[in-house]
Structure 1
């Protein structure tokens, strides 16, 4: 389940990770019927009749944008110093690395 904030309220929707080619996301009919967004099929834009608050906590550092190519400006937050201070949250598809107890690291190239 994926927690989503849309139209001013949050809810959980099924979110499946699967190979779907070059399509970034598929919105299910259940979600579309529930949220009733306005869809411009020609431009490929989904909008809501009410403004949705997406981010309030942190804005990108304007100095960072000067050094960042314009196609990456919308992702500027991930290049900020704050993002490097914390690990990403655990997810259901995390992969465990089982270490051998009392194993010694041998010097040399890896």
Structure 2
């Protein structure tokens, strides 16, 4: 029975892994040490800091141009860092996903 259920187990495992990898709120509840933060928590903290600097810098440093904040390209690079492990694991699981689609297809 287990060999026939490999595609289903691989699909459920991949989706569960992606869910836990992208979940940054559970870490906020249970982890207090910043050295133990996950990548998503660090990226969210960086994004919050950028947003806070952006809102405070326009009021306090009006016209000085002293603060150069990261633009959209830096934020997109941080998003790529966040999905990099999933992109590395997906090719190994892809054959099981395709096999599950082919086995479950209706012919006729």
Q: TM-score range by the shorter chain?
A: under 0.3
Which is richer in strand? 1
TM normalised by structure 2 equals: 0.20
Which is richer in helix? 2
